[in-house]
Amino acid sequence: MDLFVTTGMNLIYAIATLGLVALGLAVVFGLLGVMNMAHGEFVMLGAYSVFVVQTAGLPFIAAVPLALAVCAGIGVLVEWSVIRHLYRRPFDTLLATWGISIVIREVVEAGFGRDFKSVDQVLPGTVSFLGAPYPAYRLVLLAAIIIFFALLLVWYRRSNTGARIKAMVSNPALAAAVGIDTARLARLTFVFGVCTAGIAGVALAPLVRIEPYMGIDYLLSSFFILVVGGLGSLEGLLIGSAFIGGFDTSISTLFSKTSGYLTVLVISILFLWLRPDGLYARR
């Protein structure tokens, strides 16, 4: 029973964190159509924010405003200087954001060095959950992610924001004609996306290695999730996270980390080829 609960919790935890990490890319790529290759670098910036506040002797929670400020600032700068010139040019955004990812990575390396950083455990120790001991921080994090997604889902369902973003992408001139300030909406969407990536970085920091090159893994797994789940909906994002998280976790446990990764790769290729709209196509 304990083992069952622990394994189940681990799986749910893996899915929830994957969903959180992929959310930003889902917004920026799925809604805005910008294939942001620097997505993982924003996760990395969030993780380094935790390192900075702990080094300064501040409490963990102070990393949240810091990460938001850093990601929003860089997000605005990047959107203003690069992205806004490239909307509706998917290849070019892919290449330009690749360049941006190099720059962010190298600047962080220049500031903090190439070595691994680790941050102190927050809420160390375990609590009993359904009779099984489970790390307290993970449990709190899991609850926070679930609440966050629930709020997001309610808001998204009620507002026309998603439809407006899609309208802006598919027909910007007409969107402006119905009164949508397209430049502002695009900038806000992009900044929202990179900020959630930063928050994901903060949340994961106590549990992962922090180094300048950590972003690429998060970019890839986010991308696989979107491919499998389908673009443009929260439901698709969660289904994709469950699918990728489930396969990766179970194959890795049963065989090896490499075979888990290979499975995910092959699944993604098959989806890209046979079902590019993903499992949860909107219509």
Partner 1 sequence: MVYTRAASLVILAGLAAVPAVFGMFTAYQLGLYLIYGIVGQGIALCWGRAGFLPLGQALFFGIGAYIAGAFLKASDGAYIALIPAIATACIVPAILAAIVGLLVFNRQIGSGPYFSLITLALAMLGFQLANSLDGITGGFNGMTGIPAPAGIDSFGNYYFVVLGAVAVISLALYWLLRTPFGLLLSATAENEERLQFFGFNTSGLKAAAFGISAGVAGLAGALYAPHQGIVTPQAVGFLLSAELVIWTAVGGRTSLAGPLVGAVFIGFLASELRNTFQYWEVVIGLVFILVVLRLPRGIVGIGETAFKSITGGWNKPSLPRDQKLETSGPALKPDLVFDEVKVTMGPVTILDGLDFSIHQPGIHAIIGPNGAGKTSAFNVMTGRLRATAGSVRWRGETVNGMKPYQVARLKVSRKFQVPSVFSGLSIDQHVDIALWANRIGTADLFSMQPFRWTSDLYSILAERFSFLNEGDRIAGDLSLGQRQMLDFCITYLSEPELVLLDEPCAGLSTAETADMIAAIADTNRHLGSTAIIIEHDMRVVEGLSNHVIVMHQGRLLANGSIDEIRANEDVQAVYSGGTK
Partner 2 sequence: MSRNGVLEVQDLAGGYGEITVVRGLSLSVKQGQAVFLTGRNGVGKSTLAKLVAGHLPATAGTIRFDGKDFTSQPDHARRPAGLGYAPQESTVFDTLSILENLTLPYDDRDLSRYNELFLLFPRIKDRLTQLAGTLSGGEKKILSFCRAIGEETRLVVMDEPSEGVQPENIDRMGAMLEQEKTRGRSFLIVEQNLTLVEHVADHAYLLDHGECVFETQRSPNMRQMLSDRLNL
Q: Summarize as ranges the residues that interact with partner 2 (CB under 8 A).
A: 159-160, 163-164, 166-167, 169-171, 173-182, 283
Pick 273 or 283: Cβ nearer partner 2: 283
- Total site size for partner 1, rule CB under 8 A: 36
Amino acid present at 276 = P
Nearest approach, Cβ of 157 to partner 1 (angstroms)? 21
Nearer to partner 2, 1 or 283 (CB): 283
Which of these segments, 57-65, 96-104, 189-197, 247-255, binds partner 1 (CB under 8 A)?
96-104
Report the 10 Å Cβ neighbour count for 197. Answer: 34
Q: List the one residue from 92, 207, 252, 281 that touches partner 1 (CB under 8 A).
A: 92
- Closest approach, Cβ 155 to partner 2, in A, equals 12
From the CB of 260, what's the least distance to partner 1, in Å? 11
Name which of partner 2, partner 1, none residue 163 binds, using a CB cut-off of 5 to 8 Å depending on partner kind.
partner 2
Q: Report which residue type is found at 256.
A: S
- Taking CB under 8 A as the criterion, the residue among 61, 69, 77, 102 binding partner 1 is 102
Q: Is 174 in the site for partner 1 (CB under 8 A)?
A: no
Residue 45 CB, nearest approach to partner 1 (Å): 16
Residue number, 174 or 265, with CB nearest to partner 2: 174
Site for partner 1 in 109-128 (CB under 8 A): 109-110
Residues 209, 211: Cα–Cα separation, whole Å: 6
Place of tokens 């455990």: 121
The DSSP H or E segment spanning 196 is: helix 182-204
120 SS3 class: coil
- Please identify which residue in 100, 185, 197, 234 interacts with partner 1, judged by CB under 8 A: 100
Spatial separation of the C-alpha atoms in residues 181 and 264, rounded to whole Å: 39
- Give the span between the Cα atoms of 34 and 96, in whole angstroms: 10
Residue 41 vs residues 30, 109, 163, 201: alpha-carbon distances, Å: 18, 12, 28, 9
Give CA–CA dist 147/71, Å, rounded: 22
Residue 192 interacts with which of partner 2, partner 1, none, CB < 5 to 8 Å by class:
none
Query: Which of 156, 197, 153, 145 lies closest to 24, judged by CA?
Result: 197
Q: Between residues 174 and 266, which has the closer beta carbon with respect to partner 2? A: 174
Cβ-based nearer residue to partner 1, 85 or 209 = 85
SS3 129: strand
67 exposure class (CB count in 10 Å sphere: 0-12, 13-18, 19+): buried
272 binds partner 1 (CB under 8 A): yes
Whole-number Å distance between alpha carbons of 201 and 197:
6
How far is CA 65 from its chain centroid?
Answer: 17
Residue 98 interacting with partner 1 (CB under 8 A):
yes
Binding site for partner 1 (CB under 8 A): 35, 82, 85-86, 90-92, 94-96, 98-103, 105-107, 109-110, 220, 223, 227, 258, 261-262, 265-266, 268-269, 272-274, 276, 283
